[in-house]
Amino acid sequence: MALKGLDIFKLTPKKNCKECGSPTCMAFSMKVASGAVSIDKCPHMSAEALATLSESTAPLMKTITVGAGSNEHKLGGETVLFRHEKTLVNRNLYAVTLCSCMDDAEIDAKIEQIKKVDYERIGEREYVEFLFLNYAGNGAEKYVALVNKAMAADRALVLNCSDADVAKAALDVCKAAKPILNGANAENLDAMNAVATAAGVTLGVTGEGISGIYDNIKALEAKGNKNLIIDCTGKTAKETFANAVQVRRSNLKDQERTLGYPSIVNLAAIAEGDLHMQTALASAFTLRYGSIIVMENMTYAEALALYGLRQNIFTDPQKPMKVEPGIYALNGADENSVCSLTVDFALTYFLVSGEYERSKCPVNLLITDASGMSVLTAWAAGKFSAGTIKKFFDEADIENKIKSRTLIIPGKVAVMKGEIEAKLPGWNVVVGPMEAVQLVKFIKDFNA
């Protein structure tokens, strides 16, 4: 149970200390309880009091760091159940399975397919973050060979292996990459814990239902291991979903710290052979509550849908999604192609660029900084004006990069036409249509 400000105050030395970031200890205690300041900011706190309070004032769900280098990822750390309550912290990540039962050609082909799903959307790299390596019980040599191939693919790893000896052999070649060792259960708890602890890696733990998961985590915590991740995968999609929801609600709503860890859901196991079903289930677990979502494969089509959904869920609702200002050459546009201007609000960009791409006509789409606002909102707020457009043209060096002197502006801000022409002498400013859906006909007629 999380402590309240009054509980913390009772354990806090009664001193008026500005080092605490607050003029009184009571105010400091309230700040600690709300998460605004760390308890160790008080220089008068005894080691015993710090030990008592640190655990109680920490977030209910632990933040677990896995992987190394460019493949390091943070999981968990959430403080609320729903996005509308507060911004979610660490987005869920996707994994694709490989198996020691596969031959080398099949493994290589699958890794090459995974590498094709790697693109940027609204300033974020979208790709398959994990390889989920299944051990098929065919010997440590086969599994170690699979691990070596997977390491060359430059992705974070999940070793899905419940054989402690085989897991140890695999970790001997990849522990520096800080993989997740997934496979601890009631039967192998001690052996798997020893292997994971010795290698310094996160241990994935499962059990029979919520009660089994709880008991196994409790046993591992009693051994001093709190570097854990919960494998919520059940026998069916319904059971898996129930496990994931109950784990998260028990932790964040009922304040049960024993279940305060990120989760794995293995959709490749519960919908084997049906990629469409796995994609549908992945969308559900992107919402509720898979930290790592495992699928048999990931094609570009599945990635576009899932990663777009993930960005919508794990974006701060107070901070609009923006694209980078600059010149976006569409349909093979060059320096002589007509220019079209709009704002950096992500939704506006995707609507406008999508319609221009559908037209097949070459266009240089110019994206100006409008603080992530839509066209009319930015215009009303003074973020999209002749002055800001002139500043953007100067900073982006548009005059020297583009020879065309035709600029299409959104129809909703037609009133700006004269002001823009005054700021940009030599440019022919054309008022475009009111809605993005009209752009296809407009640009085709314009070029005719």
Report the amino acid identity of residue 338. V
Q: Which pLDDT belongs to residue 19?
A: 47
CATH code that applies to domain 326-447: 3.40.50.11600
User: Which tens digit of pLDDT belongs to each residue from 193-232?
Assistant: 999 999 999 999 999 999 999 999 999 999 999 999 999 9
User: Which tens digit of pLDDT belongs to each residue from 43-94?
Assistant: 666 676 666 666 666 778 999 999 999 999 999 999 889 888 888 889 999 9
Q: Which pLDDT belongs to residue 390?
A: 94
Per domain, the residue ranges of the chain are: 5-57, 63-313, 326-447
Q: Which pLDDT belongs to residue 56?
A: 65
Q: Which pLDDT belongs to residue 312?
A: 84
Q: Which pLDDT belongs to residue 83?
A: 81
Q: Which pLDDT belongs to residue 24?
A: 54
Q: Which pLDDT belongs to residue 38?
A: 67
Q: Which pLDDT belongs to residue 1?
A: 45
CATH code that applies to domain 5-57: 1.10.15.40
pTM of the model: 0.79
Task: Quote the radius of gyration of the chain (alpha carbons, Å).
Answer: 27
Q: Which pLDDT belongs to residue 6?
A: 47
385 near 361, Cβ under 8 Å? Answer: no
User: CB burial class (10 A; 0-12, 13-18, 19+) of residue 33?
Assistant: buried
Q: Which pLDDT belongs to residue 23?
A: 46
Q: Which pLDDT belongs to residue 51?
A: 64
417 near 429, Cβ under 8 Å? Answer: yes
As a whole number of angstroms, the distance between CA 232 and CA 242 comes to 9
User: Which tens digit of pLDDT belongs to each residue from 152-201?
Assistant: 999 999 999 999 999 999 999 999 999 999 999 999 999 999 999 999 99
pLDDT in tens, the chain (448 residues): 455 544 544 555 545 555 444 445 666 666 666 666 666 677 666 676 666 666 666 778 999 999 999 999 999 999 889 888 888 889 999 999 999 999 999 999 999 999 999 988 887 889 999 999 999 999 999 999 999 999 999 999 999 999 999 999 999 999 999 999 999 999 999 999 999 999 999 999 999 999 999 999 999 999 999 999 999 999 999 999 999 999 999 999 999 999 999 999 999 999 999 999 999 999 999 999 999 999 999 998 889 999 989 988 887 766 778 889 999 999 999 999 999 999 999 889 989 999 999 999 999 999 999 988 999 999 999 999 999 999 999 999 999 999 999 999 999 999 999 999 999 999 999 999 999 999 999 999 998 6
What CATH class has 63-313?
alpha beta
320 near 344, Cβ under 8 Å? Answer: no
215 near 207, Cβ under 8 Å? Answer: yes
Report the amino acid identity of residue 271. A
Q: Tell me whether the CATH fold assigned to 63-313 matches the one assigned to 326-447.
A: no
384 near 375, Cβ under 8 Å? Answer: yes
